[in-house]
Amino acid sequence: MLIDDLRAAAPEEWTAFTRHPFVLGLADGTLDETAFRAYLVQDYRFLVHFARAHALAVLKADTLADMRAAARGISAILDREMDLHVGYCARWGISADELEATPEAPANVAYTRFVLDAGLAGDALDLHVALAPCTVGYGDIGRALAADPATVRGAANPYEDWIAMYSGDDYLAGVDEAVDQLDRLFERRGGPGRLPSLVTLFKRATVLESAFWQMGLDYASSSTSS
């Protein structure tokens, strides 16, 4: 699978992302709640651009099946995921008005515009590779946390619902679909000569995903110091 080759070519970047201190704090429940709230607000802004990226995937698609797959992604984000996210944020004391009013953090701008630029400058394969650290990475993290006996589960962990979401069958089914899509695109548009540039793209997107985690930690740190 293409995703296996990409992860194997970026071991340091992938580990730094999937084992980031933010993630470890989710696992044992020690993550500063201020950091998590900052992440939730920015993740809402990210979802807006994630929908735009899927819209771009429709434009870049060269088969009707790929167009339909991208359209399903748009619908899932706009008609389901964003409403679920707003509801989840409300449980953390974050209103819909606050989600809309909070400006994007620089780390959010950096990653989302990178993804869109990769898709605009390249083809559908470039776009999906740039999206892979988010889609696939959250699945890897969810699976790992759920399987690790050291992960604190249940009411003792305030992030139990987050872990359950990204280790759940619904989310992982979407990951599997994204992985299959990568392979189909690589078969049509890739080949060994294309792999080095895709690895470079994947590494950069993974580093930007790590920066998204760090954004939450930095926000909590600055709030404490002030």
Q: What is the pLDDT of residue 143?
A: 96
With contact defined as beta carbons under 8 Å apart, do 176 and 168 qualify? Answer: no
Is there a domain that residue 20 lies in?
yes
Give the Cβ contact number of residue 154 at 10 Å.
Answer: 7
Cα 53 from Cα 127, distance rounded (Å): 8
Mean pLDDT over 206-218 rounds to 96
Which one is catalytic: 134, 160, 177, 187?
134
Mean pLDDT over 67-90 rounds to 92
Cα 149 from Cα 157, distance rounded (Å): 14
Given a cut of 70, whether residue 88 has pLDDT beyond it is yes
Per-residue b/e over 97-115, b at no fewer than 16 CB within 10 Å? eebeeeebbebbebbbebb
Cα 133 from Cα 82, distance rounded (Å): 20
Active site (annotated) includes residue 160 = no
Task: State the chain's mean pLDDT as an integer.
Answer: 94
Confidence of residue 39 (pLDDT cuts 50, 70, 90): very high
Is there a domain that residue 226 lies in?
no
What proportion of the chain, given as a percentage, has pLDDT over 70? 98
Q: What is the pLDDT of residue 225?
A: 59
Predicted model pTM: 0.93
Q: What is the pLDDT of residue 226?
A: 52
Query: Which residue range forms the structural domain that includes residue 26?
Result: 2-220
Q: Which residues contact 193 (CB under 8 A, 6 or more apart)?
A: none
Is there a domain that residue 225 lies in?
no
Active site (annotated) includes residue 12 = no
Query: Residue 101 maps to which CATH number?
Result: 1.20.910.10
Question: pLDDT digit string (tens) for 92-121?
Answer: 999 999 999 999 999 999 999 999 999 999
Which one is catalytic: 12, 177, 187, 209?
209
Q: Is 189 helix (H, G, I), strand (E, B) or coil?
A: helix
Question: pLDDT digit string (tens) for 153-176?
Answer: 999 999 999 999 999 999 999 999
Is there a domain that residue 51 lies in?
yes
Number of domains in the chain: 1
Is there a domain that residue 88 lies in?
yes
